[in-house]
Structure 1
């Protein structure tokens, strides 16, 4: 299970470059809701915008909750 989650996160964050082009307000509300706790826990010192939050999630990819990882993976679809 942990290995599968790691592979999912790698796939999600491999596309971070394209996702970073999105403005913070272009992130779907579902992702904001599902990743709120992860943002507070892992990236609260990161100012949203310019892909900085997504980069923070990438830097903490092993610590992101499964629900948030799922929400992030839905962004690229």
Structure 2
């Protein structure tokens, strides 16, 4: 049981680290666009992605790619 818990914990940590790295890269790709178009938007609930989606044609190509990858549908 203890070994199974350790393996599960390790797998969870590796998955979290991968997700954090991806989020940091996405944040970097869209930081300037967020500040320009969505500065007053409160993060959470998909509000930032929605705001950036509303300005999709005005975003940098790197941020457009991130928004398209994170948009539902």
Q: Same fold (TM over 0.5)?
A: yes
Instruction: Compare CA radii of gyration and give the structure with the larger one.
Output: 2
Structure number with the higher helix fraction is 2
State whether structure 2 residue 33 is matched by structure 1 residue 38.
Answer: yes
Whether the 8 Å CA contact 1:34–1:71 is kept in 2: the answer is yes
Instruction: Report the CA distance shift for 1:74/1:59 in structure 2 as closer, same or farther (over 3 A).
Output: closer
TM-score, normalised via structure 2 length: 0.59
For the residue of structure 2 that corresponds to 1:58, the secondary structure is helix
Q: TM-score, normalised by structure 1?
A: 0.56
Specify every segment of 5 or more residues in structure 2 that has no aligned partner in the other structure, as ranges. 1-19
Structure with the greater relative contact order (CA < 8 A, sep ≥ 6): 1 or 2?
1
- Aligned positions, number: 51
Pair 1:30–1:75, CA change in 2 (3 A): farther
Which of 58, 64, 68 lines up with 2:63 in the alignment?
Answer: 68
